Amino acid sequence: MKPVSAIIFKDIAIELRSKESLASMIMFAVLVLVVFNFAFESTGLDKSLVAPGSLWVAVSFAAILALNRSFAKETDNDCLQGLLLAPLSRGELYLAKVSSNFLFMLIAEIIILPLFVVFNALNFDFRFAEVIAIVFLGTLAIAGIGTILSTISSNTRMKEVMLPVLQIPLTLPLIIAAVESTREILMDDTGQVSSWLYILAGFTIVYLTLSYLLFEFAVED
């Protein structure tokens, strides 16, 4: 087995036994969707105006829960030493961690997305397929930048608090682009959607590349 896939399978095996990340992500995201429903119910606003915001708050904050666990479990028992001794470059180690984080977020979203449609009285039609594509891209971007930021935050005191403090300001362009493109699709007004997709794709490419290059510094002893 190649080292990269060995690390991904290791993460999957741990997750299958503990189910920590998936359970907390799904529960948290569902709570966000429910709270948003109450927060905006009485305003009488059109559901498709509020829904994109609730979806992306749920996705990006749930991702932070999983990312917090992702490196904490490596540092808890000094497992990071073992990972660094594995026969692969630091960049490949980064890609392996991004892949497993991305995978767990996608699995959580398989549950979150249908609930999002049901709660907001939307339909499972072609627009839903387009929203899935945007969620896929946005999740890749969050996994890409979140993996390196969680490595940084796992070195701090108050790890759990540091990650959102570092991540939310940096992912703001991503969240704006994701919310706006989702909203335009749901409202059938796709005039600007290509600009938002450029920002989304540009953000993903820039941060995956930059993090791939910088990861060796982030795990250095």
Partner 1 sequence: MKLKILAILTFVSMVFALYMIFIVAPRESTQGDAQRIFYLHVPLATFGYVGAFLLGFGSIRYLMTRDSKWDRLGHAAAEVTVAFITAQLITGSLWARPIWGPWWVWDARTTMQVVLYLIFIAYLMLREFVPEGPKRAILSAVFGLLAMIDVPINYLAIYLFRTQHPQAVISPGGGGLDADMAKALLASFVAVTLLFIYLLNRRLAIARVEEEINYLEQIVLAHE
Quote the least distance from Cβ 185 to partner 1, whole Å.
15
Write down the residue that tokens 């907390």 correspond to.
24
> Contact 26/61 with Cβ under 8 angstroms?
no
Cα–Cα distance measured from residue 77 to residue 63, given in angstroms and rounded to the nearest whole number: 23
Q: Is 95 in the site for partner 1 (CB under 8 A)?
A: no
CB of 39 or CB of 168, closer to partner 1: 168
Give kind and range of the element (H or E) at residue 54. helix 47-76
Quote the least distance from Cβ 162 to partner 1, whole Å.
6
**N-to-C CA span, the chain:** 27
Q: By 3-state DSSP, what share of the chain in percent is helix, strand and coil, each rounded to 5?
A: 85, 0, 15
Residue from 55, 177, 185, 208 in contact with partner 1 (CB under 8 A): 177
Within residues 111-170, the interface with partner 1 by CB under 8 A covers 145, 148-149, 152-153, 155-158, 162, 165-166, 168-170
Residue from 18, 172, 187, 190 in contact with partner 1 (CB under 8 A): 172
The region of 47-55, 59-67, 82-90, 200-208 touching partner 1 under the rule CB under 8 A is 200-208
Amino acid at 163: L
Quote the least distance from Cβ 160 to partner 1, whole Å.
11
CB of 28 or CB of 203, closer to partner 1: 203
Q: Is 56 in the site for partner 1 (CB under 8 A)?
A: no
> Contact 63/146 with Cβ under 8 angstroms?
yes
CA dist 7 → 38, 87, 133, 134 (Å): 41, 11, 27, 27
Query: What are the residues binding partner 1 (CB under 8 A)?
Result: 145, 148-149, 152-153, 155-158, 162, 165-166, 168-170, 172-173, 176-177, 180, 192, 195-196, 199, 202-203, 206-207, 210-211, 214, 217-218, 220
